[in-house]
Amino acid sequence: MAVGLYADVHVQSAITRGLRLRGVDVLTAQDDETIEWSDVALFERAAELERVIFTRDDDFVSEATRRQRTQQPFASVVYAHQRRASISQCVRDLELIAKTFGPGDLHGRVIYLPL
């Protein structure tokens, strides 16, 4: 069973193209027409769609941390810093995550790339 990814607006198209070439189910904020939505709204959207959020935006980590502290459920976040994880590292690690875990396996977690 695979988990679907939700790529926010800060994710380079090269990453989503690489993932799709590897057969990973990835929905972008652009595809979903949510590029103007707040981080909070995107958390809710990802949970509604049972997808893990992938981002390169520090604010998502802050929101996930806040939700962990208040024990508020959320779809997991995979975060890769812009300078610390290359596009190819992101593609490899996200493929591994997407193909290893199922939709219910990752709720309420923050995963940092590179693995």
Q: How confident is the model at residue 102 (pLDDT cuts 50, 70, 90)?
A: confident
What one-letter code names the amino acid at 7?
A: A
pLDDT for 63-98, tens place per residue?
999 999 999 988 899 999 989 999 999 999 999 999
Whether residue 103 has pLDDT greater than 80: no
Q: How far apart are the C-alpha atoms of 108 and 101, rounded to whole Å?
A: 14
Task: List phi, psi (to 5°) of 52.
Answer: -90, 130
Torsion of CA 12, 13, 15, 21, to 10 degrees: 180
DSSP secondary structure letters along 54-101:
EE--HHHHHHHHHHHHTT-----EEEE-TTTS-HHHHHHHHHHHHHH-
Domain with 60, as residue range(s), is 4-113
Domain count, the chain: 1
Q: Within a 10 A sphere around the Cβ of 50, how many other Cβ atoms?
A: 14
Whether residue 95 contacts residue 24, with contact meaning beta carbons closer than 8 Å, is answered with yes
What's 70's domain CATH number?
Answer: 3.40.50
Paired residues of 113 in beta bridges: 80
Predicted TM-score (pTM) of the model is 0.93
Enter the DSSP assignment of 13. H
